[in-house]
Amino acid sequence: MADNLYSEFKEHSVAEFFKKNRQMLGFSSKIRSLTTAVHEYITNSLDACEEHGILPEVFVEIEQLGEDHYKVTVEDNGPGLPKKLVGKAFGQMLAGTKFHRYIQQRGQQGIGATGATLYSQVTTGKPVKVRTSMGNGKIYECTLVVDTKQNAPKIESEHEFNGAYRGTRVEAEFKDVNYNKSEYGAFEYIRRTAMANPHAKITFIDPLKEKIVFDRVSDKIPERPRAVLPHPLGVATDDLITMARITQARKLSSFLQQEFSRVSSAKIDELRQLVPTIDMGKNPHALQWEEAEAITKAFKTMRWIAPEMTALRPIGAGYVEKSLQNVVKPEFVAVIERPPKVFRGGVPFLMEAAIVYGGAAGKPAEEGRKAEILRFANRAPLLFDAGGCALHNVVKNVDWNRYGVKDFENQPISVFLHMVSVHIPYTSAGKQAVADEDEILKEAHFAVMEVARHLQRHLSGVRRKGESERKRKEFDKYIPFTAAAIAKLTGKEPMTMEDLSKLASKEGKVLEEKLAKIVNERFHEVIEETDEEELESNGGNGESEKVESGGGEDA
């Protein structure tokens, strides 16, 4: 009986696994599946353009071929692909340039585009068509599918010809998918991509042949991030053991200095004092678990220079503001950028946050605008799995009443929260939700509080000015009669009741102008004085950040 059971023991490829569990890649509901395919192709296009210093121009078209049957075409002006890598890029899981590098990128696992190819073939039985050229006069075209048994691309047809073209174009058909303009649809994904990528021009043609162009608001290509070493503050014991086993260093001290950022000879001396029982001259391959655990604990008690920023390329407060003004056209916008921190594994990250109010902020509803939470990770929108995402939950858990926002859910507000990191801790291969790492939760919370204080000051100012204007108008009603009465009381010119109503008196008119000037100046002074008090109090919430031991010094 046992022999029969073990005879069923077989190995399976990662492609076979995701074929049976495609929902883990984001291919679940009809609307989400189409949006996921568009997301994967656009992500690849933007990453490729930026890595080669090219201002991205991305063309997206969705054509309806039948009921729940669509064709997606995505084309870019990027560097193109060498012929030998086309199959791996679109037809092999866990193959690519992203997973092994300690650098900020939109994609991470080398699964996305191949996942879209796989979903296309299991729902239509048709291959994906790819055209690419590196601008060398040679254009390569092929159709391909995924060999799920081998997790390898299978080229069905190919040919090469001469032509003036540079970039990559992919065409894929999908069934059991649907398109609409909901907050989870492909259009919304493209709209949010434009918000987080102000340097990109995206042209979209929807199934009704309507053409929408999201023009770039910046001609500056984001500076390429550079790969960095992990920061010691967030490294775990298992990470340290794994790295020690494969290092080329011959001493534990040199291993720590070569494989981690911010570890100097002075830090090694400090570490010797904290863990005197560990020989820093020993071979790192011989490092034991208890020793590694003691080192990681010591790391957390030491003060460190902040993580290197070279691996991180935030959008930038100015560009976020321009982008939001271009897409949302709000009444008010505030943007902040937090300093870099680290989380588990020594991974550097930072948070950008913005809040927009009024105009087209929020999402449309029958009774008006409703609040919306715009989540991003490395410039890519996160539309799904909001309930399990740290960024979404942080915004939802803020006590908005403390910031002058009553009934947050029903306000014309958009909260923009962007995590930038060399590694985003997604909760699944679908890459739509960020995990609840303590450091990430803390930083996201501080970021939202900071922009909320800016909104609080704006709303307070609006309310004060509205109240002041109401009072000023009340005073205005009585200025003519007050001026006329003063003229009469001074005896400079006798006035009748008719004179009072018609303001026939020259003295009355002069006094009216003076009184109006006094009222206007006084109300203006009241507003300015209150604004200064508000700025000095910095929101008056009594909330502030706590700098923890080992939290890092400024560089």
Instruction: Judge if 390 and 342 occupy the same domain.
Output: yes
What local confidence, expressed as pLDDT, does residue 540 receive? 44
Other beta carbons within 10 angstroms of residue 496's beta carbon come to 10
More confident residue, 317 or 519: 317
Q: Is 202 helix (H, G, I), strand (E, B) or coil?
A: strand
pLDDT at position 16: 67
**81 — phi, psi (to 5°)?**
-125, 145
Q: Which pLDDT tens digit goes with each residue over 125-151? A: 999 999 999 999 999 999 999 887 888
Task: Specify the amino acid at residue 371.
Answer: A
- Hey, what are 103's tokens? 């650098």
pLDDT at 390 over 70: yes
pLDDT: which is higher, 63 or 106:
63
Domain's final residue, options 301, 320, 338? 301
pLDDT higher than threshold 50 for residue 96: no
Q: What is the CATH number of the domain that holds 386?
A: 3.30.230.10
Confidence grade of residue 350 (pLDDT, cut at 50, 70, 90)? very high
Answer yes or no: do 32 and 85 share one domain: yes
Whether the full predicted model's pTM is greater than 0.85, yes or no, is: no
Residue type, 416: F
Burial (CB < 10 A; 0-12, 13-18, 19+), residue 361, is buried
Asked, for residue 3, whether it belongs to a domain, the answer is: no
Per-residue pLDDT at 245: 92
Between CA 312 and CA 340 the distance in angstroms is: 9
Q: Which amino acid is at 403?
A: Y
Predicted confidence band at 102 (pLDDT cuts at 50, 70, 90)? very low
In tens, the pLDDT along 35-67 reads 999 999 999 899 889 888 999 999 999 999 999
Domain CATH number, residue 135: 3.30.565.10
Name the band, by pLDDT with cuts 50, 70 and 90, for residue 17.
low
The span from the CA of 187 to the CA of 206, in Å, is 8
Q: Which residue, of 301, 317, 332, is where some domain finishes?
A: 301
**125 lies in some domain:** yes
Amino acid 534: pLDDT: 46
Of the pLDDT bands very low, low, confident and very high (cuts 50, 70, 90), residue 506 is low
DSSP 63-83: EEEETTEEEEEEEE-S----H
Task: Based on the fold, state whether residues 269 and 331 are members of the same structural domain.
Answer: no
Question: Average of pLDDT values for 307-335?
Answer: 87
Whether residues 482 and 348 fall in one domain? yes
What number is the average pLDDT over the span 9-34?
70
d(CA 61, CA 59): 7
Claim to verify: residue 86 and residue 134 sit in the same structural domain: yes
Q: Is residue 225 assigned to a domain? A: no
Of 66-70, 133-137, 404-408, 541-545, which gets the smallest average pLDDT? Answer: 541-545
- Residue 454: how many CA atoms within 13 Å on its side-chain side? 16
pLDDT at 489 over 80: no
Identify whether residues 98 and 58 lie together within a single domain: yes
Q: Is the pLDDT of residue 346 over 90?
A: no
Predicted confidence at residue 504, as pLDDT, reads 42
Residues 237 and 276 in one domain: yes
For residues 421 and 444, give the distance between their C-alpha atoms in angstroms, rounded to a whole number. 13
- What integer best gives the mean pLDDT of the chain? 82
Same domain, 353 and 468: yes
Query: Domain range holding 275?
Result: 232-301
Label residue 73 by pLDDT band (50, 70, 90).
Answer: very high
> Does 504 or 313 have the greater pLDDT score?
313
Does 379 map to a domain? yes
Check whether residue 187 and residue 271 sit in a common domain: no
For the chain, helix, strand, coil in percent to 5 are 45, 20, 35
Same domain, 288 and 182: no
CATH code where residue 260 lies: 1.10.8.50
Contact 79, 352 (CB under 8 A): no
Phi, psi of 16 (to 5 degrees): -65, -40
| pLDDT confidence tier of residue 105, bands split at 50, 70 and 90 | low
Q: In this model, does residue 514 exceed pLDDT 80?
A: no
- Establish if 224 belongs to a structural domain: no
- 7 domain-assigned: no
Q: Which of 144, 179, 214 is the last residue of a domain?
A: 214
100 shares its domain with 246: no
Whether 233 and 342 have beta carbons less than 8 Å apart is answered as yes
Three-state secondary structure of 203-271: EEECCCCCEEEECCCCCCCCCCCCCCCCCHHHCCHHHHHHHHHHCCCCCHHHHHHHHCCCCCHHHHHHH
User: Is pLDDT at 509 greater than 80 in this prediction?
Assistant: no
- The listed range with the strongest mean pLDDT (26-35, 37-46, 475-484, 498-507) is 37-46
Between 119 and 3, the higher pLDDT residue: 119
Q: Give pLDDT, residue 555.
A: 32
The yes-or-no verdict on residue 473 having pLDDT over 90 is no
Token code pair at residue 532: 């200064």
- pLDDT higher for 522 or 461? 461
Q: pLDDT digit string (tens) for 148-166?
A: 788 888 899 999 999 999 9
The confidence band for 261, taking pLDDT boundaries of 50, 70 and 90, is: confident
Query: Which run of H or E residues covers position 502?
Result: helix 497-502
Burial of 455 (0-12, 13-18, 19+ CB in 10 A): buried
> pLDDT tens digit string along 273-298?
999 999 999 999 999 999 999 999 99
Number of domains in the chain: 3
Note whether residue 2 is domain-resident: no
What's the CA dihedral at 230, 235, 241, 247 to 10 degrees?
10
- Cα 189–91–166 angle (5° rounding)? 70
Inside any domain, residue 321: yes
- Whether pLDDT at 465 is above 50: yes
Same-domain pairing of 333 and 252:
no
Q: 401: which 2 tokens?
A: 């009443």
